[in-house]
Structure 1
Amino acid sequence: MGGLVVSENLRDVDAWLFDLGNVVIGINFEHALHHWARAADRDVGDLRQRFHFDEAYERHERGQIEAAQYFESLRSLLGLDLADEDLAAGWNAIYTGLIPEVVALLPAMARSRQLYAFTNTNVTHHRAWSAMYARQLQPFEHIFLSCSLGLRKPEAAAFEAIARQTGVPLDRMLFFDDTEENVLGARAAGMPAVWVHSPQDVIDAVVPYIGDEG
């Protein structure tokens, strides 16, 4: 399905809502796998086959379990005998840097309309990226965290909670995400959404609102 599907009247929104991972901040879970493989003297291919986003991962992102509990589950999943500190170091190695074309648009977007972000994350990751990219994330009026909300994308209840907290109706908030499942969830909840495959998708969606200001 196409990436740019918003409202017929492009200016008929009052707020922007951004995913962070691979929309604003680059992430690559291969970096975590390689870190753990080196630390445990294991074959990265074996870890790659074992790793997946399981129920414990989702509970961790909802704030339902602490990092220590998730890392215990991760040790079992991967068959690793690494300390929490080693697991956390690999966990936080996933960040590959900012996506400059999108970051450059954020100040103008914030001047144009309310600017928010919503990320599926956990406390360990939040501590890492919020410190690494604090200055560049300043244009966001608020960043909603799944681990604080107790809700994850693509759950309709998550988008509804953000609409209540911001006071912006779902159909007047434009959502950007790189994951099809999250985009479909937002649209099903009544929110116009852009499926981001590259920074150009964000640029194409945003320029009609802010012109050349970005």
Structure 2
Amino acid sequence: MRAILFDLFGVIARVQSPESQALLERTAGAADPDRFWSAYWSQRAPYDRGDVAGPAYWKGVCDTLGIPLDARLTADLIAADLASWSEVDQRSVDLLGELAGQGFSLGLLSNIPEELAERYVATQPWLDRFSVVGFSCRLRSAKPEPAAYEWCVRELGLPAEEILFVDDRAENVEAAHTLGLRGHVFTSVDALTAALAAAS
């Protein structure tokens, strides 16, 4: 194993907290949280792939919910959504430095919309640890679509079997396995560190 390809959210960055989810619900004026999140996720794939930008994404969500949308609410929803995905796990960031010091090539493959990708590039200097950064909005392909993984493998310049893919979603790890990569379903920094030690 010569390279480690990381997912971002749920591995290095935290998933949405209950507080950030509640803020999004309040911002939208959503009376039914279940309906809100169903609409949120049902519209998300084109946003992550870069097929639509934030305003069009939120128009689709609000149209589904019957919520009137204007420019101010659009901006508020985008801001609340970006903030909800912006908390980083410092232990994971520290692990990146350790792995780079051990000689591993590091890659990143994230399902992420353009506005959020821009925010991370502007605010997170640890992204420089990655020799390859695959943002779905720029690849125009999102996990678990094969093209997203194939792009990263080409850019890393290694055989797939020499790359470990780390993601918190089992279906994404299974898709990587199908393409010949090794895989680890992320649950904690400690579990990943133990798995890496066992594989060395």
TM bucket (normalised to shorter chain) is 0.7 to 0.9
**CA shift for structure 1 position 31:** 4.6
C-alpha distance in structure 2 between counterparts of 1:81 and 1:36, whole Å: 15
- Give secondary structure in 2 for the equivalent of 1:104: helix
| Superposition deviation, residue 116 in structure 1 | 0.9
CA gap 1:101/1:206 in 2 versus in 1, 3 angstroms: farther
Q: Which runs of 4+ in 1 moved over 6 A?
A: none
Aligned equivalent of 1:69, options 47, 53, 56: 56
Q: Deviations over 1:84-141 (max 9, x none)?
A: 2011012112136222222111112113121111101111111223333x12333222
SS of residue in 1 equivalent to 2:166: strand
d(CA) in 2 for partners of 1:40 and 1:52?
11
The aligned residue for residue 125 of structure 1 is 116
SS of 2:106's partner is: strand
Partner SS state of residue 129, structure 2? coil
Would the alpha carbon gap of residues 41 and 156 (structure 1) be closer, same or farther in structure 2, given more than 3 Å must change? closer
> Which amino acid in structure 2 is aligned with residue 196 of structure 1?
F
Matched residues in 1 for 2:64 and 2:158: separation? Answer: 41
Q: 1:109 is aligned with what amino acid?
A: L
Summarize the alignment of residues 72-83 of structure 1 with structure 2, pairs less than 5 Å apart.
Answer: 72-82=59-69, 83=73
Structure 1 or 2: more helix by fraction: 2
Which residue does the alignment assign to 1:201? 191
Q: Which of 24, 37, 46 is the equivalent residue of 1:59?
A: 46
Offset of residue 64 of structure 1: 1.7
Partner AA of 1:154 in structure 2: P
Higher relative contact order (CA 8 A, sep 6+): 1
Q: Which moved more, 1:13-22 or 1:96-105?
A: 96-105
Partner Cα distance (1:31, 1:81) in 2: 24
In the alignment, is residue 108 of structure 1 matched against residue 98 of structure 2?
yes
Q: CA deviation at 1:44?
A: 5.8
Q: Are the aligned partners of 2:25 and 2:36 in contact in 1 as well (CA < 8 Å)?
A: no
Q: How many residues align?
A: 196
User: Aligned runs of 1:1-214 on 2, under 5 Å?
Assistant: 13-28=1-16, 30-43=18-31, 45-48=33-36, 50-54=38-42, 56-82=43-69, 83-95=73-85, 97-111=87-101, 112-132=103-123, 134-207=124-197
Given that residues 107 and 131 in structure 2 are in contact (C-alpha distance below 8 angstroms), is that contact kept between their aligned partners in structure 1? yes
Change over 3 Å in CA distance of 1:40–1:163 after alignment to 2: closer
TM-score by length of structure 2 reads: 0.86
State the distance in 2 between where 1:159 and 1:36 align.
31
Shift of the 34–91 alpha-carbon distance from structure 1 to 2, 3 Å rule, reads: same
CA distance in 2, matches of 1:119, 1:143: 8
Please tell me the residue identity of whatever aligns with 2:2.
D
Report if aligned partners of 1:50, 1:78 keep a CA contact under 8 Å in 2. no
| Root mean square deviation of aligned Cα | 2.3
